[in-house]
Amino acid sequence: MNARFDYFGNENGAKFIKRIGNAGQLVNESTLPLLTQEMVKLRASQINGCGFCTDMHAKDAAHAGETQLRLNLVAVWREATVFTEAERAALALAEEGTRLADASHGVSDDTWAQVEKHYDGDQIAALISLIALINAYNRMNVIVRQPAGSYQPGQW
């Protein structure tokens, strides 16, 4: 299976990827825990049906020390007992921020209150930025049908 279009091989596509990658450095350098970042990216990617990003972030999380049990349960985090309250707040924000078109309220006040309870201002900025970025990456990869399965941790 091949992608419809080599977005990374196109000059303009490569420039865009580089620029949003640079924006992502702010999140990477934040105090938002790395495994929380990977779980948020994984959950948004699952919702958006992005196989490439789901593959990437599951592998990156495992490489960073995440357990297989928690990776298996990200899709059903509400019913799982293995996530902290802070992680649950981040996952709720990721879901509601990804599913904006599915609800008239956007991000609920309850979710926002939980996020504010567990994260400081810089971490909240990182979470919002991370959710925006992963949704952008998901859309690019879904549009071109980027195949999943061959990603290796640290490849990008």
- pLDDT, the chain, mean: 96
- Please give the pLDDT value at position 117: 98
Alpha carbon distance 10, 143 (integer Å): 15
- Residue 126: count of CB within 10 angstroms of its CB: 22
Q: What is the pLDDT of residues 116-150, one digit of tens each?
A: 999 999 999 999 999 999 999 999 999 999 999 99
The segments of the chain whose pLDDT lies below 70 read: none
- Residue 82: count of CB within 10 angstroms of its CB: 12
Q: Token digits for 33?
A: 């825990």
What is residue 10's three-state secondary structure? coil
pTM of the shown model: 0.95
Could you tell me the residue ranges of all domains in the chain?
11-144
What is residue 63's three-state secondary structure? helix
Decide: 108 and 96 in contact? Cβ < 8 Å: yes
Express the helix, strand and coil content of the chain in percent, nearest 5 each. 70, 0, 30
Q: Give the number of residues written for the chain.
A: 156
- Please give the pLDDT value at position 102: 84
- Please give the pLDDT value at position 143: 97
- Please give the pLDDT value at position 1: 83
Decide: 140 and 46 in contact? Cβ < 8 Å: no
- Please give the pLDDT value at position 88: 98
CATH 1.20.1290.10 fits 11-144, yes or no: yes
